[in-house]
Amino acid sequence: MKFIADGMLGKLTRWLRMLGQDVKYSNNSEDSQLLTIAKKEKRVLLTRDFELYQRAIGKGVDAFYLEGLTGEEKIAELAKRYDIRLEIDMASSRCPKCNSVVKPISTKEAADKVERSTLDYYEEFWKCTRCGQIYWQGAHWTRIRKTLGAAKEMLKEQKKGN
């Protein structure tokens, strides 16, 4: 499953990429461009714009209209619809910045790119194969797990509701 997100869904895009989903995003694409790319590359259009959603359906483009208000709600409704596992597995995770795959790198390779204190605390590092961004499961990871935990709870509730 591949996605393309409308310009209002930048934050959600980063989440989906971390969860291993292939998501195209640009915050300055015209609606018609989004529809063209979605159709050509067989991507599901994710949008919070109901008119755009209807236009997509009218043109035979697969689309999903997001109703959730918070990040957790949006993640949960997508996980439910597309059966997305709410765990970050770095082996299949994508770069939240550019959507490319990330690869593990050695501490040595990370050494000249991150702070000394980071190297002292963490042993595993990943690098984006396109933009070169370095990732590690640092202090911010607590917040990431918390958000995913909340999304999982919502998903459970939603499943119970139906």
Report, in Å, the least distance between residue 110 CB and Zn ion. Answer: 15
Instruction: State which residue, 17 or 74, has the beta carbon closest to Zn ion.
Output: 17
Whether the CB-CB separation of 76 and 154 falls below 8 Å is answered with yes
Closer to Zn ion by CB, 14 or 74: give it.
14
Q: Cβ 97 to Zn ion, closest distance in Å? A: 5
* Minimum CB distance to Zn ion smaller for 1 or for 131: 131
Question: Where on the chain is the footprint of Zn ion (CB under 5 A)?
Answer: 95, 97-98, 100, 128, 130-131, 133
Alpha carbon distance 45, 39 (integer Å): 9
Q: Taking the complex as a whole, how short is the minimal distance between the CB of residue 22 and Zn ion, in angstroms?
A: 13
Closer by beta carbon to Zn ion, 90 or else 150: 90
Cβ 133 to Zn ion shortest distance, Å: 5
Residues with Cβ within 8 Å of 39's Cβ and at least 6 positions away in sequence, in order, are 59, 60, 61
